[in-house]
Structure 1
Amino acid sequence: MGNGAKAQMKRERNAKAGGKEAKSQLKVNAAAKNIVCKTCFQTFLTTASEKLLEQHADSKHGKTVKECFPDFAPK
C-alpha cells in the first residue's frame, strides 16, 4: 500500500469520526476591544500598548493619550 492510499484511508476515517465545527476568533476579538477613543470612537484590543494609543492620539487628533483615552491605565 502506497502513501497515497494510506492518506486517503486516513481522510476517510477522519471524515467518519465527524466534522469539527469551524472555530473563529472574530467574536472573541470583538469582545476584547474595550479601549475606546473618546474623540473618534475607534476601538482597540485590551492588550494595546500605551505607545500605540499615543501614536493614534497624536497622528489622528493631535491630542495626548489622556485627552483621547481618559479611562486608560497603563499596565
Structure 2
Amino acid sequence: MGNGAKAQQKRERNAKNQKASASSQLKANNAAKNIICKTCFQTFLCTSREKALSEHAENKHNKAIKECFPDWAPPS
C-alpha cells in the first residue's frame, strides 16, 4: 500500500467522523426560547432584549411590556 492509499483512507475516515459530529442547532435554539408572551404565547429566545419585547407588546397587543411579560426582568 502506497502513501496515496493511506492518505485516501485517512480522508475517508475523517469524513465519517465529521458527518457523525455535525448536528443541527434547531433543538438548542428551541430549548433557549424560554421567554413567553402571556397574551399570545409566542416564544422568544432568552437573549431577547427589552426593545424587542416592548415592540411586540405594543405593536401586537397595545399593552405594556409588564402586561405581556410579567416574569421577565432586565438582565443585570
- Shorter-chain TM band: 0.7 to 0.9
Superposed, 1:1-75 pairs within 5 Å as 13-17=10-14, 18-20=16-18, 21=20, 22-75=22-75
Report the count of equivalent residues: 68
Aligned residues with identical type, % of pairs: 56
Cα distance in 1 for partners of 2:36, 2:43 equals: 5
Return the TM-score normalized by structure 2: 0.78
Shift of 1:12: 6.0
Shift of 1:15: 1.8
- SS for the counterpart of 1:57 is helix
Cα distance in 1 for partners of 2:58, 2:65 equals: 8
Cα distance in 1 for partners of 2:8, 2:33 equals: 38
- Deviation beyond 4 Å, 4+ runs, structure 1: none
Return the TM-score normalized by structure 1: 0.79
When the two chains are superposed, the root-mean-square deviation of aligned CA atoms in Å is 2.1
